[in-house]
Amino acid sequence: MIATLGLVPSGSAQAKPDIDDVQAKVDRLYHEAEQASERYNDARLELKDLEADLDSLQADQDRQDDRLGVVREQVQDAIVRQYEGQSLAAVGQVVVSEDSQDFLAQLSTMSAFNDMQSQLFDEYATELKSLDIRADATERRAEDIAALEEKLAAEKKTAEEKLAEAEALLADLKAEEREDILSRGTVRMPSDVPASGSAAAAVAYAMAQVGDAYVYGAAGPSAFDCSGLTMMAWGAAGVGLPHSSSAQYSSGPHVAASDLQPGDLVFYYSPISHVGMYIGNGLIVHAANPGTGVVVSGLYSMPYVGAVRPG
């Protein structure tokens, strides 16, 4: 009997991953992670505004509560004067509630109401209404903050999941293949960038960070995300920017690509989710992604949207 040799079809063997395919998947995952991270940055800015608003509302409510207490004392004094000559115990039996609304209801049914100073009664009612309005506004703002904090947690989770998926893809490659993927689109750092004025300080800061790590939500000193790098760079020049690529797009006058100067901020993707700094000669410095860090790349290495000149 002739033994039959079992042949394994070539298609069943584990195929070597196509580098271009892995490149595309990693780029997509990094971009999706960065989109979530920039939404997280936007939400943090909104949360900061909401918290400041809540503090202001709470302070208003406290002041309103103090004013209400003053008027309450004035009303009670007026009642005592109206009952002058009678037992103070009788007065105390009338005004017993510590609840502001109940106190107002008691005043409206007191036999001495017609003789009481109506101005004080009206003032108390007005102050109480104002307090209720401020208390409702404070409660609504607190609810807004709670909802936004949930959104922050969700965006952070999304970014972390996309990053983990990208890292898993890269882990399946050989070291030289990973290096090939992560170095694509980067160029050698120029020896000199002809910037002037405040832009010179911003460019110098950004260029000094080349080689630093990319970390979502980071703004130095040794790790950055894209908007964190540009924020800190222009901060070194004395110009304040928000930690958000989409918010930075509104931080100054827009300039055409043909008019770009070193220090200008350049923006990518729609909706905007990445920002870098133009350094001349068709190059940008930017915090690219977690696998690459802060590098120099070509101006059109990503889908270009527009540019802004801070300062």
Q: How far apart are the first and last CA of the chain?
A: 88
Burial class from Cβ neighbours inside 10 Å (0-12, 13-18, 19+) for residue 36 reads: buried
- State the pairing for strand pair 265-268/283-287: unpaired
- State the pairing for strand pair 223-224/213-214: parallel
Buried b (16+ CB within 10 A) or exposed e, 97-122: eeebeebbebbeebeeeeebeeebbe
Residue identified by tokens 């160029």 is: 187
Count, residues in the chain = 311
In whole angstroms, what is the distance from residue 252 CA to residue 261 CA?
14
Residue identified by tokens 């960070």 is: 209
Helices (H), 264-304: none
Residues acting as catalytic residues:
226, 274, 286
